Structure 1
Amino acid sequence: MSDETRHRIIVGVDYGTTYTGASFVSARSQDTNSIALITSWPRLGHGTETFIKTPSRIAYAAENGGKEGWGFAVESEMVAYSWTKLLLDRNTPITRFDGALEEASGMGIFRLPPERNAVHVVGDYLSKVYQHILHCLAKEITEEILQITPLEFWFTVPAMWSDQAKHATSQAARLAGFGGRPERPEDTISLVPEPEAAAIAAIRKTTTDGMGFSVKPDDGVLVCDCGGGTVSIQTVYPALTFEELCPGTGGKCGSTAIDRNFYIFMKRRFGQAFESLPCQKIGPGSLLMNKFEIVKQAFGTTPEDTVHELPLHMKLSTADPKHYNSTDRVVLISEKDLSSLFAPVVKKILALVRAQIKDAKKQRGRDVIDRIILVGGFGSSEYLRNVFIDEFERPTSKIKVTVPHNAQAAIVHGAALRALEGICPRTIRCRRHYGYSKSLLFVEGVHSEADAWVDLFTDNKYAGGFVQWMTKKGQELESGYVQSWDTFRSHRDGDNLVYKSGLYSSDATLTPWRLDHKGVRKIGDITVDFANVDLAVFPCRMVSHKKVYKLQYSHNVIFGAQEGVLHFEARANGQIIGQTSIDFAQALYY
């Protein structure tokens, strides 16, 4: 049976920092409205909670007296792990958009259980999600049919997720069972950027239901999920096509940024009385934070003189009655207090969006953005919508701000749509500069002896420490774009046949030319193994009674592959000469 006729099921998975959602649809479906959201999730006790998403949280039996739980089934007093997704991207430098992330990290908010890293914990959590998705699918199509039906999983990832974080996400998903089980060899995993998924869902909806402001060719649409992705509509009918106008931007400034500000606010107001409390009392999923979540979602719709009560037992020597009711054991937080938590986060989001609008204008030479669509959990905030309307819907502006129905589900719905209709940008914009390590022929008086080395095969003297950029930030790339570069290694008979080449990136405006420049960051090493290669095909000479081979080959780096991660090949004479992999550099920033 061909791939075209074989029945498949497409599953969209939006693993978020605070919540996780999933959707599914038959690959044969001709109706985009047939995409189903999973809305029943396991809860405490027995039965399910009816929500479009479940908390991204897991508790281990070993730390909870033999009891375990995940999502809604984690009790508030349990030792549990949340926000673990942010730890998958710890080797990305904190930006000005990342708010109180570093300080919150210092408070111990980001924790991991003993002997388990972030990939393991995310994998453990996603394994529960995976089993639940299979359970829901089996109820829909029967267990027997599910066993023989390939599943195509599409995971959403943030716009500015590093290559290491994409790899870590894919690795955790495979540990969980997605696309990596021997009994299901035809299952696959692909990654799709969150703004792209949201754009597909939001824009596609306007072309089919006639609601809101209809899009037309050459419209510029900015989809904001507390970051930004900007696209230009190319065609609407018979198929929706678009291209990226400028690289997606983002920071860790979503809804959890307000939570981080709240932790720091509480630390500064109550000091050690708050800091000394265990994570079960103040961490994500606690009674305190569950109540704060309700207050946070309602902000912008409640009267200005409202004072909210948050349950928390603290031992305070002297309690200010304006801030803490020691009799009822509740924290008192005013609308003014809430505004101080929201304002810096929203300010950073506005800065991101303004930068996207400016970049899009620079790209096209005119004002190009017609609409801003707010999606995601924070995108449904009435406060955020009103701020955006005040900021961007001015008399002199053509921009309109819209929020799709069920903004929280837009990303996971778009992930399934991406696969169902094959909707994707015809071209993408490179998120950052990419390059590789390079040596130059040594020039006396120009290059440093500290960088000098002599090649065994050619006897030429070289200077190392340079970088050759193969793509530039903002460069327009076709989907599946391949960049190649030729290189060689002088190999002495008997030496190790495994070689590494450094892969680097930079977010700097101007590309640095030295590897030691502060704006250059090492992604990792591309590893090529020649152990099973016939060395006789390469030039050879005798040096000190030993054969020295000139291993000539090329590196191919594939950008924008469907799987959503960088792919690598090593080739010689047009043939793949070995499997390549990348060892990601580990530089933890929080």
Structure 2
Amino acid sequence: MTLKPTAGEADGQQRCIVVAVDYGTTFSGVAWAQTARPDIQTIIVQWPNTEGSLEGRTSDKVPTELTFDGEECRWGFEIDDDEPRHQWFKLGLDPKQEDEVSHLAIAYPDRKALPPAYDMTRSPGALATTYLTCLRNHIMSILQLKLGDGVINTTPIRFTITVPAIWDDAAKARTQHCAKAAGMGRDIRIISEPEAAVVYALDAMDPHNLQPGDTFVLCDAGGGTVDLISYTITGIQPNLTVRETVAGSGYACGSTFLNRIFARYLEDQLQDLEGYDDDTLEEALQDFETNAKRRFTGEDAGVSVRVRGLVDNPAKGIKRQRLTISAEKIKSLFEPVMSTIITLVMTQLKQTKQAKAVILVGGFGQSPYLRNCLKKIVPQAIEVLQPVHGWTAVVRGALIKSLNEISPDTSRICIASRIARKAYGLSCGTAFDPAVHKDSAKYFHGFSGVYRISVMSWFVKQGDEIDENSPLSTDWYQTKPVVEGRFGFVTTKLYCFASTTAESPPMYPCSDAKKLVDLTADLSAISRALIPVERGKDGKDYYVLRYQIKVAFFSAHTEYSLWYKGVEYGKVMAEYA
């Protein structure tokens, strides 16, 4: 994890090119701008195709897919429709999410995805790095084409990459590590996907319709996952300021599952017909993806897809190589996905209690049928909105937020506070109390002259509101016998705890308290005269180090630092367990 940018890197006045990467589960997007002209923001829409042309395919996003021919790889639109490919490897960066596979992923496995044992030498991290390398190389080619070598060779390029809000810090750090290995630089910003989306959505909305106290639920419905988060407006002047109201939630129930459900339906209906083959299925699925799925409203008489090679069959609904499917059947195919998304949205609405609107972004967030279903379910007073450019809302918002961080004077949107998704704490010694503590775990502490016991001190509770602009500072102390010499490296183990119920965090260090990081600071530079020496109850002299640990929580990462007498000592290293 990068804790602190260097002074040069932090210079907000330095002219640079800002590149935002929405590294998605099924599709990825890129946007860029120059700080000299932040008002001109460009989405990359040209991608290499199967013929190898740099700008052979036009799309707002590119598939997050890889295939290999020996050591040579192809990515995105370079892969033919009928080829096996690596998919969904992004989720492997968070093993916890991969272990908690959704019921839809189990019921409707991807028929194209390569089996896990296809190539065990290619880990999710290696695949992510390879994909991001391909993406980075294409970005550089596009920038050179648009700006010229002179600008590219003399202007710093800063990358921002998005991550799911529900991922833990270790998974976000793995994503950042893969981006660094892919050549995206060492000062890579990370931003949570729903927060980026809400920055864009608010930036695109009419400010006259927004008032302090307004609460809204942001639903980012993508191909692989659906993420939700709720915000309340706290101020509109001079900037639009919001705070997170309900912690984010998410689930693997994106629109790719509709494709899998539809593919199974087609195979069941057509596989025994003369002329049916894999090409028939692939073309029908492509037609469904680009037309029927995106246009279906629920009020249509039905939908039709191309089934090339099949003769007319009235019993099956096939005429002139088109298969017509009734609206009721399409609704039944949509139902497993729609019901899951509706449950997620209603859960957020129940927790907010006073939402004014549900804002739909992401590729599937633009579905008129999803919007109509939600409008029928949510209370009438709650609007269901689909901002323009919803599929690229995350990457557009990530670019806006990155530009705002570099040039705060241009910022129009401010996220004032967030909700802690976990409890954070550390193990420390406290005076033993036989009425409270376990007798078997006590130990004698020479300096204080009393029995003590190691307990968890949770300085952030799950559900706490955290202010990004006010780092949390907590006071601690350590002792060391003078005869053992001065303090050198001081290591503090940080833990986290998350519960899906109202369960309180544990009192004692245990397996439920997951080790998050080791924070190590080099204190050998502190003058001996600055560390007080005190006589312990056991008659020995001790160095007594009273210090502060400061924790700053940002959109998608956490920064830790150790301070002594108002000075931050060295560079705190955070090693994820």
- The residue identity in structure 2 corresponding to 1:81 is H
| Match among 337, 344, 357 for residue 336 of structure 2 | 344
Match of 2:274 in 1: none
Match of 2:394 in 1: 411
Counterpart contact for 1:439–1:463, Cα < 8 Å: yes
CA distance in 1, matches of 2:439, 2:283: 63
Match of 1:432 in 2: 422
Match of 1:206 in 2: 205
CA distance in 2, matches of 1:61, 1:531: 51
Counterpart contact for 1:451–1:463, Cα < 8 Å: yes
Counterpart contact for 2:421–2:498, Cα < 8 Å: no
Match of 1:557 in 2: 551
Counterpart contact for 2:104–2:253, Cα < 8 Å: no
The count of corresponding residues between Structure 1 and Structure 2 is 531
| Match among 536, 560, 569 for residue 561 of structure 2 | 569
Match of 1:223 in 2: 218
- Confirm or deny that 1:451 pairs with 2:441: yes
Identity percentage of aligned residues: 26
1:87 to partner: Cα distance: 1.3
CA distance in 2, matches of 1:268, 1:456: 75
CA distance in 2, matches of 1:322, 1:532: 83
Match of 1:588 in 2: none
| Match among 480, 494, 506 for residue 502 of structure 1 | 494
CA distance in 1, matches of 2:333, 2:509: 38
Match of 2:194 in 1: 195
Report the CA distance shift for 1:405/1:445 in structure 2 as closer, same or farther (over 3 A). Answer: closer
- Confirm or deny that 1:14 pairs with 2:19: no
CA distance in 1, matches of 2:535, 2:265: 71
Counterpart contact for 2:416–2:469, Cα < 8 Å: no
1:523 to partner: Cα distance: 4.7
Report the CA distance shift for 1:527/1:217 in structure 2 as closer, same or farther (over 3 A). Answer: closer
Report the CA distance shift for 1:233/1:67 in structure 2 as closer, same or farther (over 3 A). Answer: same
SS at match of 1:52: coil
Counterpart contact for 1:126–1:173, Cα < 8 Å: yes
SS at match of 2:557: coil
Counterpart contact for 1:88–1:118, Cα < 8 Å: yes
CA distance in 2, matches of 1:453, 1:105: 54
Report the CA distance shift for 1:254/1:579 in structure 2 as closer, same or farther (over 3 A). Answer: same
CA distance in 2, matches of 1:580, 1:253: 39
Report the CA distance shift for 1:207/1:117 in structure 2 as closer, same or farther (over 3 A). Answer: same
Report the CA distance shift for 1:444/1:469 in structure 2 as closer, same or farther (over 3 A). Answer: closer
CA distance in 2, matches of 1:557, 1:297: 44
CA distance in 1, matches of 2:139, 2:58: 15
CA distance in 1, matches of 2:443, 2:323: 65
Report the CA distance shift for 1:49/1:356 in structure 2 as closer, same or farther (over 3 A). Answer: same
CA distance in 1, matches of 2:105, 2:202: 32
SS at match of 2:233: strand
CA distance in 1, matches of 2:97, 2:146: 41
Match of 1:55 in 2: 63
Match of 1:45 in 2: 51
Q: Which aligned pairs between 1:401-550 and structure 2 lie closer than 5 A?
A: 401-420=384-403, 421-422=410-411, 423-444=413-434, 446-455=436-445, 458=448, 460-464=450-454, 466-489=455-478, 493=484, 497=489, 499-507=491-499, 508-515=501-508, 520-530=512-522, 532-533=524-525, 536=528, 537=531, 539=533
Report the CA distance shift for 1:298/1:499 in structure 2 as closer, same or farther (over 3 A). Answer: same
SS at match of 2:188: strand
- The residue identity in structure 2 corresponding to 1:149 is T
- Confirm or deny that 1:114 pairs with 2:120: yes
- The residue identity in structure 2 corresponding to 1:192 is I
CA distance in 2, matches of 1:438, 1:267: 61
TM-score under structure 1 length normalisation: 0.76
SS at match of 2:519: strand
| Match among 54, 74, 82 for residue 79 of structure 2 | 74
Match of 2:103 in 1: 99
- The residue identity in structure 2 corresponding to 1:558 is A
- The residue identity in structure 2 corresponding to 1:416 is L
SS at match of 1:398: coil
1:300 to partner: Cα distance: 4.3
Match of 2:275 in 1: none
1:9 to partner: Cα distance: 2.0
SS at match of 1:122: helix
Counterpart contact for 1:432–1:505, Cα < 8 Å: yes
Q: Which aligned pairs between 1:291-330 and structure 2 lie closer than 5 A?
A: 293-294=289-290, 296-300=293-297
1:424 to partner: Cα distance: 2.8
CA distance in 1, matches of 2:99, 2:331: 24
Counterpart contact for 1:77–1:286, Cα < 8 Å: yes
CA distance in 1, matches of 2:377, 2:68: 45
TM-score under structure 2 length normalisation: 0.78
Counterpart contact for 1:84–1:121, Cα < 8 Å: yes
Report the CA distance shift for 1:41/1:340 in structure 2 as closer, same or farther (over 3 A). Answer: same
Q: Give per-residue Cα distances to partners, 1:68-118, cap 9 Å, x unaligned.
A: 2011112345452111111112225867x9433466789986737433332
In structure 2, list runs of 5 or more residues that go unmatched.
1-7, 221-225, 272-277, 404-409
CA distance in 2, matches of 1:201, 1:245: 18
1:161 to partner: Cα distance: 2.1
CA distance in 2, matches of 1:303, 1:517: 56
Q: Give per-residue Cα distances to partners, 1:287-333, cap 9 Å, x unaligned.
A: 79756644644554696665768899xxxxxxxx999x9xx9x9999
- The residue identity in structure 1 corresponding to 2:576 is F
- The residue identity in structure 2 corresponding to 1:391 is I
| Match among 365, 369, 372 for residue 379 of structure 1 | 365
CA distance in 2, matches of 1:443, 1:331: 75
Counterpart contact for 2:91–2:98, Cα < 8 Å: no
Report the CA distance shift for 1:416/1:534 in structure 2 as closer, same or farther (over 3 A). Answer: closer
In structure 1, list runs of 5 or more residues that go unmatched.
181-187, 274-280, 313-320, 362-366, 586-590
> Which has the larger displacement, 528-537 or 576-585?
528-537
- The residue identity in structure 1 corresponding to 2:86 is Y
SS at match of 2:205: helix
- Confirm or deny that 1:388 pairs with 2:394: no
Report the CA distance shift for 1:470/1:444 in structure 2 as closer, same or farther (over 3 A). Answer: closer
1:163 to partner: Cα distance: 1.4
CA distance in 2, matches of 1:436, 1:333: 59
- The residue identity in structure 1 corresponding to 2:26 is T
CA distance in 1, matches of 2:239, 2:400: 13
- The residue identity in structure 2 corresponding to 1:141 is L
